[in-house]
Chains A and B, each alone.
Chain A
Amino acid sequence: MYIVRPANIMDLPGIERLHTSYEVRVTTLPSDRDKLSELLHTSTQSFQGDIENTQDATLIFVLEHIETGEIAGVSGIDAYAGSGYPFFNYRIEELVHASHHLGIHTATSILYLSHELTGSTVLRSFAIRPDLRGTPYFALLSRARFMYMAQNPDDFSDRTVTEIQGLLDDKGDSPFWNSIGRNFFDIDFATADYYVGVKSKTFIAELMPQHPIYVTLLSEEAQQAMNKAHPATEATCQLLFKEGFERSRYVDIFDGGPVLTSTSKNIHTIASSKLKEITTSKLVGGLKYLISNNQNGDFRCGIGKLVDGIGDHIRLDDSVATQLQVSNGDLIRYSPL
């Protein structure tokens, strides 16, 4: 049995262990211990609402095995992309080069360096033990974030975005990076990626070319990779599409990976979640739901069975109530799994 709860500094070794089992790079989860510890510290402050500047709020959740205490996954939210600094993406636009005089009309794509998504809420740091990918806990770890957002709508932006890992070649190199960034840094993708982890994405992004980039001038491989998701992100993308996220005109400036966006209040989990008072009970049947308590610092989200009715109360299984740290009369939030 797994639940999702706020990460704390004690989880550091557990999160570090996850690194070794990644199928996908998680740039937004630092491998540097100091960086990670700093991140967890900020997260704890954010959950407790005592962060000095709300723009800096970052929430890191862990997927914990209740019986063993093992950390099997991690996910996160940045309340405001960029934390007061510009949040960089490329915006893909079409330009038409036309001449009435010569009877010529050519459409060409161009990448504009954009700060447009600055201040959006960003989903980040998603990593799960590979063997849990095909289980409901995958959805639990990802969607628990939306349950948290549903109960604190004012702490987040109207728009939620997520950057999906882009295509890499067989050698783990990014063709998109090789065709753009590399020209300006003389460092390979892995090194750039490392700097993003230990410095910040904004820090590196500020060194990127400021002028718009004509897609037709990029290498064939880079053009192919642009706005394509890494195959390993398939499950993540499917889940987010189901939640109502859509492809956008934005791509990552490093690997050209797609940026998915949604209006926060329309995210399926948020829109469909309901709040009711519980009556604890034994052996409740029904359908599986994501269920969370109504706490922030002590936020818990798990999976349990409910029978949803028209009344103001809902029955919740004792054991689930224990895991979510709720008792008779407390409010829970639930959304169909």
Chain B
Amino acid sequence: MFFIRPIERRDLNALFDMAEESGIGVTSLPANHDKMELKISRAVNSFTDNIAQKDALYLFVLEDAETGALAGVSAIEAEIGNQDVWYNYRVGNSVHASQELGVHKQTKTLFLSNDMTGATEVCTLFLREKYRQGVNGRFLSKQRYLFLAEFQERFNERVIAEMRGYSDEVGHSPFWEGLGRKFFQMEFKEADYLTGLGNKWFIAELMPKYPIYVPFLSQEAQDVIGKVHENTEPALALLQQEGFRFNSYIDIFDAGPSVECRLPDIRAVKESVVVDWVADENSVAIDDPRGDVWMISNRQFVNYRVILIAGANIKDGHIVLNAAEIAALSLEPNSQVRAVSMRPAIPTIRSSK
């Protein structure tokens, strides 16, 4: 059985291993020991309310209950852009028109913005290679919505996710080559690494501040605006399933899209329910990960836990849990859990007649 819990200081080495495995593109997981330690420290303080709510970083790990090994990590930033300066390009439009000349030309234009400042970000999704099976990836991603649903007051109504932009097999980003690179000689890999170390702000300061008319960029760069890296496509699909949509903002380095959803509109937030639970050793095991699987959280903050159970354990008004599941959730008697199906409810189609 796998379960979700807040990160702890003892997870440092495991997280560092993951960072090394993640490589380029997962900028929020830099393979740098000191930075990693700071990050974990910040997350631990966030779950113990030792830092301001707006500065909180909630890092979750997916743990294999049998071996204690960590399978992956995911996170929520309470509010982005408060400590540093958060930059995006907004993909906008400029119209140059003259009735007399018969000219009416729309030109895609990139406007540098700090519009996302203060938004909540779901970020840092990484699942180790050998655990990339079944429902693990989806679980790691979607469990965060139970946390958002439970502690809405800690977050901004605007929830965003930034998607890794397109880069080729050798890690070249055509957008970077077409824009950032022209302003200072730096490989994308290096910019990416520096970003992970928390230097994005500094690099952003070196980027052009005035709007960029897209036709000035190389065709290769134009083609990847708003395009995700192929490894990120599944993550994007999951976000879209939950109601996230492209919000016209892109990353200033690799042009990866930003997607957004109002917190109360996120599918898993909206559909989640708070219910009683009963102990029953005959609870049904998950036999098909693609079947009807539910996420169950213990609704606790410091000791937040989430597990998966089979849909068959959802009864009228309560949920059936066995002893191992109760232990994994460290549930107190007479407490309630929050539950939501992993997958959106299948819409009932009715005839219009």
| Chain A residues proximal to chain B, CB less than 8 Å | 97-99, 101-102, 104, 106, 108, 110, 179, 183-187, 195, 199, 203-204, 207-214, 216-218
Contact = CB atoms under 8 A, between A and B. Distances in A.
B210 A110 contact: yes
A120 to B, nearest CB: 26
Given A185-B101, A208-B96, 9 more contacts: A97-B208, A99-B202, A102-B194, A106-B185, A184-B105, A184-B213, A207-B97, A214-B212, A217-B182
Interface string B265-308: 00000000000000000000000000000000000000000000
Contacts of B151: none
B107 A184 contact: yes
B98 interface: yes
A106 B184 contact: yes
B97 A212 contact: no
A218 B216 contact: yes
A184 B212 CA distance: 13
Contacts of A183: 107, 213, 215-216
B171 interface: no
B32 interface: no
Contacts of B217: 217
- Sorted from nearest, which 10 A-B pairs have the closest CB atoms? A183-B215, A217-B216, A216-B182, A211-B211, A97-B206, A184-B96, A106-B184, A212-B210, A101-B202, A207-B96
Give the interface SS of chain B, mostly helix, strand, loop or mixed: mixed
B220 interface: no
Contact of B205 (A99, A108, A212): A99
Nearest to A218: B216
Nearest to A210: B94
9 contacts: A99-B203, A102-B202, A106-B183, A207-B98, A209-B94, A209-B96, A212-B210, A214-B216, A216-B183
B96 A185 contact: yes
Nearest to B207: A97
B247 interface: no
Contacts of A207: 96-98, 101, 103
A179 B179 CA distance: 16
B194 to A, nearest CB: 7
A210 B216 CA distance: 14
Contacts of B215: 183
Contact of A214 (B184, B186, B202, B210): B210
Given A187-B103, A195-B101, A211 B184 contact: no
A185 B184 CA distance: 31
A212 B186 CA distance: 24
B199 interface: yes
B336 interface: no
A210 B111 CA distance: 13
B97 to A, nearest CB: 7
